[in-house]
Amino acid sequence: MFSNKCRLLTCEVFALVFVGVIMVGSSSRVWAEAKFGDAMYFMSRQAVFAIIGCFIMWAASKINLKKIRPHAKRIFILCVIALLLVLVPGIGVARNGSRSWFGIGSFLIQPSEFFKIAIIIYIADHLANRYRVKSFKRDLLFPGFLTMLGFGLILLQPDFGSGIVMVCSIVVMVLAADSPIHYFVRVGILGAAGLGGLILSAPYRLARITSFINPWEDPLGAGFQIIQSLFAISPGGILGVGFDQSMQKHFYLPEPQTDFIFAIYAEEFGFLGCLLLIGVFLMVIYEGVKIAMHANDPYLCYIAIGLISLFAIQVMINLGVVVGLFPVTGITLPFISYGGSSLLVMMGSMGLLMSIANTQ
């Protein structure tokens, strides 16, 4: 079904997807039973998306990205239109204060996830036409504008976490284009000032920062999730309390199948289980970097860098949030957290990496 060149990456992805489906079932069982009367409500849906994702990954691995290149602009524009449409009441679906989804029956699709892939492909085309960055205005102004446009539209939903992940992955791509560091110093200063303004402009973002610094200042409010996450991790010890034996999923940690699913995993499988899972994540990142290094076309190389950095940054931020190293951002753990759009797009991106490997 998949190329021999990608056999190891395929096995790693399948292992993560399997763990994800099982952990969604374990972490959500109590919540799903109480809310829907069906303990397997979330697990069954995640399993359906996992099956669909396998076909998407296979189809993506057969795509010739060089033939997609002339259509990169059109794909990007379509995704921008989707980001605009999701903001329209009656078209976009609001959930937990964010209007980030299109609804199809009981399933939700998040266009920002697809936008991340579209902007990586479009900016890869732009960078490959120049090969190396020589001028800020000529080479970086355009991708900077596209990135800020996407970030602004995603922020309107609001989905601050997804925007940050997207921006960071583009920064990694531009760095790989041998961009002078002093460009990033200037842009970084402006970005830090803008980020500070965004945080101060929204009370809930400021509350997340203060709760990150001292979650015990508001233990029943802004600091509740991170405190309950740490309470889940600490009893896990070396070997964990055992599969499906978590106590924090009994209404202590809200919606544990989503952003904080790693806390439940750590509680049930302990330190050794965490090392094993993080090891698989690192193996996927290694395979992605290897594919990028061996790509025989700058365009394909930049796409591979963008895709694997998107995965790596999302993993790093999610794990950092769960253990209290970063403020709460609402970013899912790739392949593990519940979420159809995230799973399908991530499996599709792995398929695109396989496609790049097959063209070497």
Q: Summarize pLDDT for 194-253 with one digit per residue, the tens.
A: 666 666 666 666 666 666 666 767 666 667 788 888 888 888 889 999 998 988 888 788
If you search the block for the tokens 């009656």, which residue do you land on? 90
pLDDT of 101 strictly over 80: no
pLDDT of 292 strictly over 90: yes
**Helix axis angle, 181-201 to 160-176, nearest 10°:** 180
Q: How many C-beta atoms surround the C-beta of residue 284 within 10 A?
A: 23
Find all residues with CB under 8 Å of 108, minimum gap 6, and list them.
93, 95, 101, 102, 340, 341
DSSP 333: P
**Helix axis angle, 340-358 to 41-61, nearest 10°:** 20
Inter-residue contact 91 to 97 (CB < 8 Å): no
What's the pLDDT score for residue 334? Answer: 94
Alpha carbon 203 to its chain centroid, in Å, reads 24
What's the pLDDT score for residue 200? Answer: 61
Pick from 227, 299, 255, 268: nearest CA to 29: 255
First to last CA, the chain: 18
Element (DSSP H or E) covering residue 56: helix 41-61
What's the pLDDT score for residue 193? Answer: 67
Instruction: Write out the DSSP string of 169-220.
Output: HHHHHHHHTT--HHHHHHHHHHHHHHHHHHHHH-HHHHHHHHHHH-GGGSTT
State what percent of residues in the chain have pLDDT above 90. Answer: 41
Rounded-to-10 torsion of CA 48, 51, 53, 58: -160
What's the pLDDT score for residue 268? Answer: 94
- Measured CA to CA in angstroms, residue 144 lies from 71, 195, 298 at distances of 20, 15, 19
Phi-psi sector, 138: left (phi>0), alpha (psi -120 to 50), beta:
alpha
pLDDT of 24 strictly over 90: yes
Alpha carbon 162 to its chain centroid, in Å, reads 7
Element (DSSP H or E) covering residue 94: strand 92-95
Which residues partner with 93 through β-bridges? 101
What's the pLDDT score for residue 210? Answer: 66
pLDDT of 280 strictly over 90: yes
Residues 86, 90, 91, 96, CA torsion sign:
positive
Residue predicted with more confidence, 100 or 13: 13
Of the given ranges (43-52, 235-244, 299-308), which has the lowest mean pLDDT?
235-244
Strands 98-104 and 107-109: antiparallel
pLDDT of 293 strictly over 80: yes
Place 7 in a pLDDT band, splitting at 50, 70 and 90: confident
pLDDT of 278 strictly over 90: yes
**What's the pTM value of the predicted model, to 2 decimals?**
0.89
Kindly state the average pLDDT of the residues 15-29: 95
DSSP 331: P
Kindly state the average pLDDT of the residues 185-192: 67
pLDDT of 147 strictly over 70: yes
Residue 79 CA to residue 318 CA, distance in Å, equals 25
Pick from 24, 44, 27, 21: nearest CA to 247: 27
